[in-house]
Amino acid sequence: MTAPAPKTRPTPLLVRALRREPVERKPVWFMRQAGRSLPEYRELRQGVPMLEMCRTPDLCAEVTLQPVRRHGVDAAIFFSDIVTPLEGIGIDVEIQPGVGPVIAEPIRTEADLERLRPLEPETDLPEISEAIRIITAELGDTPLIGFAGAPFTLASYLVEGRPSKSQEMARAMQLEHPGLFRNLLERLADIAVASLKAQVEAGVQAVQVFDSWAGSLSEQTYREAVLPVSQRLFAEIEELGVPRIHFAVNAGHLMEAMAESGCDAMGVDWRTPLSEARRRLGDGVALQGNLDPTVPLAGPEVLERKTRALLDDAPELGHVFNLGHGVLPSTDPGMLTELVGLVHELTEKEN
């Protein structure tokens, strides 16, 4: 008897672009594409706390799929939050509307670190794998992106206890107690690795590691205190075989250092032109980004002009179109649908 032929699916555009392979048109997706800009999301969220939604596979799957159906983006991003794994290991965290993650008892001492036990995804977060299986079955050939918070960005919430403008308590901890700070980051890297492995095993085809707030660090501090931990994180997920994107906001000064993490692609915010990113990073990493998230608020004429300009400035190979940070809640979703069509039309290869 011959074994049944293995199911072969075409490699998604997103994955090929992240590997810097030729594509017939550029893939496009948006950070925070699921969420408050969509009326169908707001309707489902009514009365459901954010983290409860993340732990309800059917709701989580539905919200993940909404922007794919509506906009025709080339990837879904798993609907969850960077603090979900912290809740999974028993940290008392709540996402407060209009605020963000709030930690009841911040982590500030060696003794506090004991509360950051290793994550065991199968028992701590079984809902995540279940949701990913539902989503990937529904998505067909469209890939699903998994994600995790990078150690520094997660540490900033754990130390501060809530969102902060410049992460001053976390940065002071790094200066005053570098050993404690390092241990905190190492534990958070282990949690991110465990979470990302479980997501890939359940079916995600690319991952993004958000170090959103790393830009508050000087390059020297980043290199000393954060980069070695991020390098270990990226090395440990390399064997999963999926492209790994790294992203931070307002971190143009860290671009080269962050690319040394070992990531396959760098997310670039809108303050750094893609041609400059390419010049500084070389062509060893793919680039993702980086339309200013306020452009879709400024009307169709501006949208088209800025999109054309961005595409003219972007590398031909190894570029995934995205915004330079998340979709703003006030964005008219119709403008995002238009943007997807525009990118597809302007980058389609004739053959």
Q: Which of 212, 216, 230, 261 touches ligand 1CP by CB under 6 A?
A: 212
Stretch that binds ligand 1CP, among 1-9, 34-42, 105-113, 287-295 (CB under 6 A): 34-42
Q: Which residue has the tokens 């969102």?
A: 163
Please confirm, yes or no, whether 222 is among the known catalytic residues.
no
Please report whether residue 152 would count as binding ligand 1CP according to CB under 6 A: no
Asked if 95 interacts with ligand 1CP (CB under 6 A), we say yes
d(CA 345, CA 343): 5
CB of 228 to ligand 1CP, least distance (A): 22
Q: Which of 147, 181, 222, 234 binds ligand 1CP (CB under 6 A)?
A: 147
Query: By CB under 6 A, is residue 77 in contact with ligand 1CP?
Result: yes
CB contact at 8 A, 348 and 317? no
Answer yes or no: are the C-beta atoms of 225 and 178 closer than 8 Å: yes
Query: Cβ closer to ligand 1CP: 234 or 247?
Result: 247
Task: Name the one range near ligand 1CP by CB under 6 A: 16-24, 73-81, 281-289, 308-316.
Answer: 73-81
Q: Figure out which of the listed residues 81, 87, 124, 160 binds ligand 1CP, where binding follows CB under 6 A.
A: 81
Which of the following is catalytic: 25, 36, 133, 182?
Answer: 36
Question: Is 81 annotated in the active site?
Answer: yes
Window contacting ligand 1CP (CB under 6 A); options: 14-22, 25-33, 110-118, 338-346: 25-33
Chain positions 183 to 202 lying near ligand 1CP, rule: CB under 6 A, are none
Minimal distance, residue 78 CB to ligand 1CP, in Å: 7
| CA 210 – CA 145 distance, rounded (Å) | 12
Residue closer to ligand 1CP, measured from CB, 20 or 173: 173
Burial pattern 116-128, b for ≥16 Cβ within 10 A else e, equals beebebeebbebb
CA distances to 85, 95, 177, 226, 301 from 214, in Å:
20, 21, 18, 9, 34
Residue in 41, 55, 70, 81 annotated catalytic: 81
Candidate residues 15, 23, 50, 159; the one interacting with ligand 1CP per rule CB under 6 A: 50
- Of 32-40, 85-93, 282-290, 341-349, the window that binds ligand 1CP (rule: CB under 6 A) is 32-40
Q: Tell whether residue 268 is a contact of ligand 1CP (CB under 6 A).
A: no
Q: Among 32, 182, 223, 271, which one carries the catalytic annotation?
A: 32
**Least Å from the CB of residue 233 to ligand 1CP:** 15
| 101 forms part of the interface with ligand 1CP (CB under 6 A) | yes
Cα gap 67→199, rounded to integer Å: 20
Catalytic status, residue 124:
no
Beta-carbon count within 10 A of 106 CB: 16
45 is catalytic: yes
Catalytic positions: 32, 36, 45, 81, 157
Contact positions vs ligand 1CP (CB under 6 A): 31-36, 50, 77, 79, 81-82, 95, 97, 100-101, 147, 153, 163, 210, 212, 249, 326
